[in-house]
Homo-oligomer: A and B are copies of this chain.
């Protein structure tokens, strides 16, 4: 028998567990197993919310893929193109600027889903998904930064915004995030003498009439009451519609002034899968009962969140870790069966139960017919997920983390991720202020869409100096002369801008001639008008 190439795309539960099972089922001389993932680690999603409070240390919630499946060749690249007919996958460049083509005999697609903010203005710029380790770290850092700033800020309205945290989506993920966030903010705030507990708002927005639609009404109500008791505001029958740098806007028209919005709700296929011309249903790749991609049976399998599969009994397979790990085993078996010419198996796992952590020694559970809430559910949650965590070293480390979290208060170390020199995108709702006269001039703006007006305070009230439109620049005066803003800029319609920070602007201006010419010309012109 000739050595076969098995290629796995994605390093989440689906991909990594498929590799682990294949390593057990096949001898090294039977197949070359490769796995493509942008990160070299596997994220243990169920515990990701605990990174917010630091009760698990950052690197303990992830496991090196190499350690989990040592015989699999890990290719740390992005998947750029899948050619199902030529049986070739193209991945992005590494240190060397060459694309890499990976031919395969058998392909396992486990690329999951991505967040989709389409049609929700300002969400890309101002709402954060909660999927990866960076998201968890960014959220943690934002919370700490907001607390530090609120502690020295005197403007009441800004303090309020800084201390309000909004999570959209009341499913498992949203509930676990708001529970951890609420606990962390309220505990950490005790070290900030200027922050009073009643200034903190943690808001959960959910589109249904109760949270946790996956669970029974009784458990969901228990969770709702408990979260409310701990200070979480729950907004039901409403959903996030838009976001700006100053507020969250709900469909009902309610506005919540805030600087921190987390959205756990909408998702779609990654671009590279969206582009595949194969059978799809409900925005996922359609598989048969054996988890093979329809029309590519015996060659391509799909596992995890990106698959639309049904079990033997006709139930749709939900996008959870327990289903992905079981599906991975079935896929590994069926790949092996395809190699050996034997019959594939049908996926028949119906789920063992549902667990949601509510933070602070509490949870709800609906497992094997038992319904639990409070401490017993929490204890079950921790036990189940610790046992399910792959690798002994992680189990030990997380045990130690939990032990030390019992002894010591949570930590407020903030690891900064972003640099000061950057270009960002911002969205403003009509009437919102981009900057005010007298503010520090530390960025230059370019209008991508919409209109804004330039205002100056005079004895007769604010006077409109100009209206700016798509393609116009503003804010360069104060940056060029290192002075304060000499006018206020306010959005007239919904406004999309590119924000170029001062260090970045200085670098572009010093080095890119066209950039320098335009801005110097513009500044001269405006100064002459002034």
Residue numbers of A with Cβ under 8 A of B are 39-41, 54, 57-60, 62-64, 66-67, 70, 73-76, 93-100, 133-134, 137, 144-146, 148-149, 151-153, 155, 158, 162, 191-192, 259, 392-393, 396-397, 400, 404, 407-408, 411-417, 421, 423, 435, 438-442, 446, 448, 471, 473, 485, 498, 504, 507-508, 510-515, 518
**Are the C-beta atoms of B145 and A96 separated by less than 8 Å?**
no
The answer to whether A498 touches B515, judged by C-beta atoms less than 8 angstroms apart, is: no
Is A404 within 8 A of B400, CB to CB? yes
Q: Is the CB of A412 within 8 A of B40?
A: yes
Contact across chains for A73 and B408 when beta carbons are under 8 A apart? no
A-B contact pairs, 13 of them (CB 8 A): A57-B60, A64-B413, A73-B151, A73-B152, A75-B152, A93-B440, A96-B153, A392-B408, A393-B408, A396-B404, A400-B404, A448-B510, A514-B518
- Chain B nearest CB, measured from A3 CB (Å): 16
Give the shortest distance, in Å, between A192 (CB) and chain B (any CB): 8
Contacts of A513 on B, CB cut-off 8 Å? 471
A407 to B133, CA, bound (A): 25
Chain B residues in 8 Å Cβ range of A75: 152
Known contacts A95-B153, A145-B76, A393-B407; A41/B413 CB under 8 A: yes
When chains A and B are docked, how far (Å) is the Cα of A442 from the Cα of B94?
11
Selected from B57, B66, B76, B95, the residue in CB contact (under 8 A) with A158 is: B95
Check B57–A97 contact: CB distance below 8 A.
Answer: no
| Dominant secondary structure of chain A at its interface with chain B | mixed
For A514, what are the chain B residues with a Cβ–Cβ distance below 8 Å? Answer: 514-515, 518
Could you tell me the distance between the alpha carbons of A73 and B70 in the complex, rounded to whole angstroms?
A: 49
Q: Which of B70, B392, B414 is the one whose CB lies under 8 Å from A191?
A: B70
State which of B93, B149, B414, B515 has its C-beta within 8 Å of the C-beta of A515: B515
**Chain B residue at smallest Cβ distance from A62:** B413
CB-defined contacts of A507 to chain B, threshold 8 Å: 423, 498
Output the nearest chain B residue to A63 by Cβ-Cβ distance.
B413
Give the shortest distance, in Å, between A393 (CB) and chain B (any CB): 4
CB–CB B54/A59 < 8 A: yes
CB-CB < 8 A to A145: which residues of B? 76, 95
Interface centre among A74, A97, A153, A191, by most chain B C-beta atoms within 10 angstroms, is A97
Contacts of A511 in B (CB 8 A): 446, 448, 498
The 3 lowest CB-CB distance pairs between A and B, nearest first, are A393-B408, A97-B439, A97-B440
Contact A98 B439 (CB under 8 A): yes
The closest CB in chain B to the CB of A96 belongs to B158
Q: Are A504 and B442 in contact (CB under 8 A)?
A: no
User: With A400-B404, A413-B40 in contact, do A440 and B98 touch (Cβ < 8 Å)?
Assistant: yes
Q: Closest chain B residue to A141 by CB distance?
A: B40
Q: Contact: A148 with B74, CB < 8 Å?
A: yes
- A439 CA to B93 CA in the complex, in Å? 10
Evaluate contact between B96 and A155: CB separation under 8 angstroms: yes
Q: In the complex, are the beta carbons of B93 and A411 less than 8 A apart?
A: no
CB distance from A76 to the nearest CB of B (A): 5
| A125 and B127 alpha carbons, distance in the complex (Å) | 33
B414 touches A39 (CB 8 A): yes
> Is B397 a contact partner of A393 (Cβ separation < 8 A)?
no
Asked if residues B408 and A404 are in contact (CB atoms below 8 Å), the reply is no
By a CB distance below 8 angstroms, the chain B residues around A421 are 423
Using Cβ atoms and an 8 Å threshold, which residues of chain B touch A408? 392-393, 396
Q: How far is the CA of A57 from the CA of B259 in the complex (A)?
A: 30
Q: How far is the CA of A504 from the CA of B423 in the complex (A)?
A: 8
Chain B nearest CB from A504 CB (Å) reads 7
* Known contacts A96-B153, A507-B498; is-contact A512 B413 (Cβ 8 Å): no
- Asked whether B508 lies within 8 Å of A423 as measured between CB atoms, the reply is yes
CB distance B58 to A415 under 8 Å? yes
Given known pairs A423-B507, A440-B99, the reply for A148 and B400 (CB within 8 Å) is no
Chain B contacts for A70, CB-based, 8 A: 191
Q: Select from chain B the residue with minimum beta-carbon distance to A57.
A: B57
Most buried by B among A40, A99, A145, A192: A40
Chain B residues within an 8 Å CB radius of A158: 95-96
Which residue of the partner chain B has the closest CB to A439? B97
CA distance A95 to B191 in the complex (A): 20
Residue of B nearest to A73 (CB): B152
> Are the CB atoms of A412 and B97 closer together than 8 Å?
no
Structural contact, B259 and A41, CB atoms closer than 8 A = no
Q: How far is the CB of A142 from chain B (nearest CB, A)?
A: 11
Q: Within the complex, which residue of B94, B95, B97, B515 is in contact with A435, where a contact is CB–CB below 8 Å?
A: B97
